[in-house]
Amino acid sequence: MIAMLNFIELATATVFAVAVAAVFSWVSLRIAFLLMQPATARDLAPRTDLARGTAQLARAYAANR
């Protein structure tokens, strides 16, 4: 009887530990997403240096032909 009670106690503690680990994992994931949000919220204009440089090169080569 005592062995069965110990097994039930162990099973209950394991289920409780799994639930706590799942909640901790979910909270950690939410915190990570909240910390990442400012980095993704900025709307940066794309750099057009390469496009301008390509257009300038095309004009330079077109003038020589």
Residue whose token pair is 């680990």 = 21
Domains of the chain, by residue range, sit at 1-40
Single-letter amino acid code for the residue at 32: A
Q: What is the pTM of this model?
A: 0.53
Instruction: Output the pLDDT for position 29.
Output: 96
Instruction: Output the pLDDT for position 18.
Output: 98
Instruction: Output the pLDDT for position 61.
Output: 77
pLDDT band at 32; cut points 50, 70, 90: very high
Through-space distance between the first and last CA atoms of the chain, rounded to whole angstroms: 98
Q: What's the distance, CA 49 to chain centroid? A: 30
* pLDDT exceeds 80 at position 63: no
Tell me the backbone φ, ψ of residue 43, rounded to 5 degrees.
-105, 95
pLDDT band at 19; cut points 50, 70, 90: very high
